[in-house]
Amino acid sequence: MLKKSFFVIVFVLIFLLSGCGIKAKKVKDPFISIKEQLDKLESYTATAIVELYNNKIGNKFSVVQFYKKGKFRLEVLEESGSPDKIIVYDGKRSYVYFAKVNQVFVAENTEEIPLYSLITSFIKNYINSGGEIEKREMDKFYLITVPILDKNIFMYKEQMAFSKEDLTPKELTIFDINNEIFSKITYKDYKYNPEINDKLFTKDSVTTLAGNLLDSPVIEIDAKEVYKYCGINPVMPVYLPQGFKLLNVLVNVNENNGVTFVYTLGKNLMEIFETVVDQNEIVNEKGFLLSEGVYYKEKDNGEKEYTTMVNGIQIKITVTGDLSEEEILKVIKSLR
C-alpha cells in the first residue's frame, strides 16, 4: 500500500512539473529581435536632428534621410527649412549640392557629408565589430554600443538607443576617444522598409528637395491599387497648407491594411493614415473632442494627432512641426 502511494505521489509531481513547463514560454531576447530588424532593413526614411559638441561648441541642424538598398539621400536643412546642402549617393558616386554657392560637386566621403548620422552607418559598425559589443537596458530603451570602424579621436565609438515599445532606432550618441560626447542624433518619424521612388537617388535630383521633386503631379495616386492592398477607397485632401507636397504613399498590411499619405514642407511633416474600423471605436480614442467629430491628443514625443471618420474610414492625421490647428481642420474638412 505504501509503495502504491509512493508511485501515485511521483506521478502527480511529474504531471504538475510538466504542466508548469508547458505554461512557461521563453521570452525572445529583444536584442536578437533588434538584430533581426536591422538585418532585414532594405529602406528607411527619417528626420535626424544632429547636435555637435566638438571643442565644446554646440551646433544643431536637421537632416532628412532617405535610404534604399545601398543608395541614400541626405537633405541638410537650415532652421528656416530651406536646404543648406543636399547629398545624393546613387550607388557609385556622391553628389553634393551647396545651396549657398548654387553648385554641385562630386565628393567621396568628405567631411561635408554627415554619413555618421545614417542608421546604416551604425549597422555597418555593428555587424563588423566582432566581439566588441556592449548591450544594456534602461527604462525606455535598449542600448547597443559598438566601436566605429574608421575611428578617429573625435568619433571613437557609438551607442544606439532602441525604443522598448517597437524596437525602432531613437537616438545615436557618438563618443570621442576620451569618452565625451562628440555628437547626438535623434531620429523622428522613422519609417521601416517603406517604398521610396528611385528618382530621389539620381544625379539630376540633387538640386531639388524631395518634397518638391515628388509632388502630386509627378506621383500618380491610383485608388484602385490602394484598394487592392487595403480594401478601401482612400479619401484625399482637396486643401493642403501652402507649400506642402506629397512625399510618399505607404501601405501597411500589418496595421488593419491601412494606407498612409505623407506630406512634407521642410522640417514639417503631416501623415494622413486611413483604415476601416468599427464606427464606435473612435469614441474610445484618448484625447478630447476638438470640434464636431474631430478628436485631438498630443503624443509623448510632442507630435499632434487628430482623429475623425470620413465616409466610414477612420482618419488619423499626425503632425510634426508648426502646423496650426486651424490648418489641420481645413485639411479634414476638405477630405473627399
- Domain ranges within the chain, ordered by starting residue: 28-210, 216-332
> Class assignment of domain 28-210?
mainly beta
Report, in this order, helix, strand and coil percent for the chain, each rounded to 5: 25, 40, 40
Residue 289, beta-bridge partner list: 295
For residues 248 and 191, give the distance between their C-alpha atoms in angstroms, rounded to a whole number: 11
For residues 276 and 285, give the distance between their C-alpha atoms in angstroms, rounded to a whole number: 15
Distant-in-sequence, close-in-space partners of 270: CB < 8 Å, separation ≥ 6: 241, 244, 262, 263, 264, 317, 318, 319, 320, 323, 328, 331
Phi, psi for residue 333 in degrees, rounded to 5: -65, -25
C-alpha pair distances (Å), 54 with each of 165, 183, 226: 32, 8, 47
The closest of 197, 129, 198 to 158, measured between CA atoms, is 129
Q: What is the pLDDT of residues 82-115, one digit of tens each?
A: 788 999 999 988 999 888 887 888 875 555 578 8
pLDDT at 62 over 60: yes
pLDDT at 58 over 60: yes
Q: Which strands, in side-by-side order, build the sheet including 258-265?
A: 245-252, 258-265, 268-275, 313-320, 304-310, 294-298, 288-291
Identify which has the larger pLDDT, 121 or 321.
121
pLDDT at 214 over 80: no
Full-prediction pTM beyond 0.75? no
For residues 57 and 52, give the distance between their C-alpha atoms in angstroms, rounded to a whole number: 8
Q: What is the pLDDT of residues 272-308, one digit of tens each?
A: 998 887 666 555 555 788 888 899 988 777 789 999 9
Q: What is the pLDDT of residues 240-262, one digit of tens each?
A: 999 888 877 777 655 556 788 88
The DSSP secondary-structure symbol of 335 reads B
Cell 546642402 found at? 85
- pLDDT number for residue 25: 55
**What average pLDDT does the segment 314-323 reach?**
90
- pLDDT number for residue 134: 93
Identify which has the larger pLDDT, 231 or 308.
308
**What average pLDDT does the segment 27-43 reach?**
92
**What average pLDDT does the segment 228-238 reach?**
80
Cell 542608421 found at? 119
- pLDDT number for residue 220: 37
pLDDT at 72 over 90: yes
CA dihedral 289, 295, 300, 302 (to 10 degrees): -100
Taking domain 216-332, whether its CATH number is 3.30.200.100 is answered by: yes
For residues 230 and 256, give the distance between their C-alpha atoms in angstroms, rounded to a whole number: 8
- pLDDT number for residue 200: 92
